[in-house]
């Protein structure tokens, strides 16, 4: 009897570095959720369909409270893909997996994930990686109400108007050559020198690196003016250009 060996199958897998948002809950959780809800009221699509990691260092909560935290985030359409530094009691088969070794990256220094197969893990997280070039996105049209444009790899330039209810999210700086009536969130990739430029300021929200100002908090003198926005010691500074 002749035996015929079937074609062997192979499993192909690779390692890849991806950009994720990191949320750091703090106690009391009800107050933290109030602040989160205030943010989501201004930018409802900010976390939608994006990978999110929970930073759990120093957060002493029970397993029941942890499950409730995950459920409350899911109801806000925030999908947690992993947790960093959780308490040992908050680890289980039906809970987000643990990740470690992550670090903040700038838009100019997004890391390439490909490393040699024989390279030790410590080296793969440090200087052995080569920086990937940043890129810019140019939109040559108006951004309509309800639209959300996200480009985490670099700057965003809008040649047109950003309508009320529209949102621009950039890893680097944002340039708007027209009226800015919607929301702009710059520097989400950790770029410390990210800026916002616009020709006519009527924005609902301006944000760089987690620091933000709403329309209600802005000086009325800047309305309709050409401005630049930058961070100075975690505080937003707005300067009139004309």
Average pLDDT of the chain to the nearest whole number:
80
The verdict on 144 and 236 lying in the same domain is: yes
Q: Is residue 223 part of a domain?
A: yes
Q: Which residues contact 17 (CB under 8 A, 6 or more apart)?
A: 111, 112, 113, 129
What's the sign of the alpha-carbon dihedral 173, 21, 51, 36? Answer: negative
What's the sign of the alpha-carbon dihedral 139, 142, 143, 146? Answer: negative
**Residue 47 tokens, joined:** 């976390």
The verdict on 92 and 38 lying in the same domain is: yes
What's the confidence (pLDDT) of residue 32?
93
CATH number at residue 163: 2.160.20.70
What's the confidence (pLDDT) of residue 107?
36
What's the confidence (pLDDT) of residue 47?
79
- Nearest to 166, CA basis, from 134, 142, 195: 142
According to DSSP, the β-strands at 227-232 and 196-201 are antiparallel
The verdict on 140 and 217 lying in the same domain is: yes
Tell me the C-alpha distance between 58 and 62, whole Å.
Answer: 13
Total of domains in the chain = 2
Mean pLDDT of 219-242: 90
- Nearest to 168, CA basis, from 142, 153, 181, 186: 186
Give me the helix-helix angle, 63-75 and 29-42, nearest 10°.
Answer: 10
Domain boundary among 84, 102, 120: 102
CATH number at residue 94: 3.30.70
What's the confidence (pLDDT) of residue 125?
31
Q: Give per-residue burial for 156-179: e unless 16+ CB within 10 Å, then b.
A: bbbeebbbbbbbbbbbbbbbbebb
Residue range of the domain that includes 78: 21-102
Q: 131-186, pLDDT tens digit by residue?
A: 344 588 999 999 999 888 888 889 999 999 999 989 999 989 999 999 999 999 99
- Report percent pLDDT > 70 for the chain: 79
Q: Is residue 124 part of a domain?
A: no
What's the confidence (pLDDT) of residue 29?
94
The verdict on 86 and 156 lying in the same domain is: no
The verdict on 90 and 165 lying in the same domain is: no
The verdict on 143 and 192 lying in the same domain is: yes
Mean pLDDT is highest, among 85-89, 188-192, 199-203, 208-212, for 199-203
The verdict on 154 and 199 lying in the same domain is: yes
Q: Is residue 130 part of a domain?
A: no
Q: 76-114, pLDDT tens digit by residue?
A: 989 899 999 888 888 888 889 888 765 554 433 433 333
């Amino acid at each position: 009897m002749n035996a015929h060996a079937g074609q062997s199958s192979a499993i192909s897998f690779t390692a890849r570095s991806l950009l994720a948002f990191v949320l750091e809950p703090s106690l009391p959780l009800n107050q933290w959720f109030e602040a989160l809800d205030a943010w989501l009221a201004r930018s409802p699509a900010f976390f939608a369909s994006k990978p999110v990691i929970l930073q759990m260092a120093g957060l002493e909560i029970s397993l029941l409270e942890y499950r409730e935290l995950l459920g409350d985030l899911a109801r806000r359409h925030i999908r947690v893909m992993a947790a960093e530094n959780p308490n040992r009691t908050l680890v289980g088969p039906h809970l987000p997996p643990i990740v470690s070794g992550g670090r903040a990256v700038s838009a100019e220094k997004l890391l390439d994930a490909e490393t040699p197969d024989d390279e030790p893990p410590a080296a793969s997280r440090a200087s052995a990686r080569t920086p990937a070039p940043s890129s810019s996105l140019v939109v040559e049209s108006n951004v309509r109400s309800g639209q959300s444009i996200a480009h985490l790899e670099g700057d965003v330039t809008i040649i047109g108007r950003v309508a009320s209810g529209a949102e621009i999210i950039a890893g680097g700086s944002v340039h708007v050559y027209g009226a800015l009536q919607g929301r702009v969130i710059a520097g989400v990739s950790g770029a410390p020198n990210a800026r916002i430029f616009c020709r006519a300021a009527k924005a609902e929200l301006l944000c760089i690196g987690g620091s933000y100002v709403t329309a209600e908090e802005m000086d009325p003198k800047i309305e309709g003016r050409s401005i630049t926005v930058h961070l100075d010691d975690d505080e937003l500074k707005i300067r009139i250009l004309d």
